[in-house]
A and B are shown apart, each in its own frame.
Chain A
Amino acid sequence: MIQGVQLDMLSADRLSKMTSYEKIRLILDDVHQGCVVVLERGLTPEEQGKLLEATMMEIAPGGFSGIEIETYPSFGGDKGLFGKLFKKGDNSRMMVIGPVDQLKMLSREKDRLIAWASAAQ
């Protein structure tokens, strides 16, 4: 088998059928196994907060040390009334989540994210 990182890419359709808790559990289970998760449509801010709290509970010094999570920082671009009316919220943007010791962000721009993923040690 080739060396590398497993990617789990979830479609918006698949995500829309899952509860918040199911999404969070799936993400953390994947991340614990050294997998990088890509969500076609990201978590809501509230769900991100819950993911963060669940992550904190699972951090074990010397073991799991947390997650890297990124999405396009969409707000700021669509400020006007038009943007406000038609904006679906930040959760409509793609999101990538991975183990912090395997996924590193190299650069963040409004419309471009560059990340480096490495295989589990």
Chain B
Amino acid sequence: MAAFLRIKGFFNKLFSKKRSRVGIYGPPNAGKTTLANRIVRDVTGEALGPASEIPHETRRARRKEGVEISSGSGNKLMIDIVDTPGVTTKIDYHEFLEYGMDQDEAVARAREATEGVAEAMHWLREDIDGVIYVLDSTQDPFMHVNIMMIGIIEARKLPVVIVANKIDLPDASPQRIKSAFPQHPVVEISGLEGNNMEALYSKIAEVFK
């Protein structure tokens, strides 16, 4: 009986091993959706959702199931990718007016953005097994929201890969991100231009397996 149970346990592990659900997190406009689209497009040829220079374009989490990541060394890993709304402690609708939206549109976007942040936090609490934390390399990595999110991710013991994004920009400083988070792997990429994606895939395959 004990042997049977052990064998059953072995088969359960082998066949019903849950796919890791990897959440793409980070502040607004870090390039999360651009990166999610690139990963999903590289693998399946589809896109996850629209990216935009206007903050809070993504106001609902979007999920793509069964994305196969392969590393250069031949490691393969099947994951679900969740693109999440940017996390912030403040949302002022006036910001959206500057992009030519009218008052009603801007107010509606602000309302949805607040719900989006709450939704991102909810996914992180309940439904995420690992995190790709995306940072814009031209911005200050010590912004409190990053310190808080990495703190939450560490408290939940979730595996994390930090992405230093937008390295194609002249004032990018991925080194600043590396020295801010020396305890975690940091991969420098340009999600927009697709630079260094192979290094990211290898790291994903290694960290979320």
Contact = CB atoms under 8 A, between A and B. Distances in A.
Interface string A66-102: 1111110101100100000000011000000000110
A49 B114 contact: no
B121 A45 contact: no
Nearest to B179: A76
Contacts of B111: 61
Nearest to B122: A53
B7 interface: no
Main secondary structure of the interface of B (DSSP, over half): helix
A59 B91 contact: yes
Given A73-B142, A90-B151, A49 B92 contact: no
A65 B89 contact: no
A44 interface: yes
Contacts of B182: 76, 79
B154 interface: yes
B8 interface: no
Contacts of A45: 148, 151-152, 154-155
A101 B89 CA distance: 12
Interface residues of A, number: 29
B148 A66 contact: no
Interface string A16-53: 00000000000000000000000000001110110011
Interface of B: 87-93, 106-107, 110-111, 114-115, 117-118, 121-122, 124-125, 140, 142-144, 147-148, 150-152, 154-155, 179-183
Given A69-B144, A79-B182, A108-B140, 12 more contacts: A45-B148, A46-B155, A49-B124, A49-B148, A53-B121, A59-B110, A61-B111, A69-B148, A73-B142, A73-B180, A75-B151, A76-B181
28 contacts: A44-B151, A45-B151, A45-B154, A46-B155, A48-B148, A52-B117, A52-B148, A56-B117, A56-B118, A57-B114, A59-B91, A59-B110, A62-B107, A65-B91, A65-B92, A66-B89, A68-B89, A68-B144, A69-B89, A69-B144, A69-B148, A75-B150, A75-B181, A76-B180, A79-B182, A89-B151, A100-B90, A100-B92
Interface of A: 44-46, 48-49, 52-53, 55-57, 59, 61-62, 65-71, 73, 75-76, 79, 89-90, 100-101, 108
Return the 6 tightest CB-CB contacts between A and B, nearest first. A66-B90, A45-B151, A100-B90, A65-B92, A61-B107, A56-B114
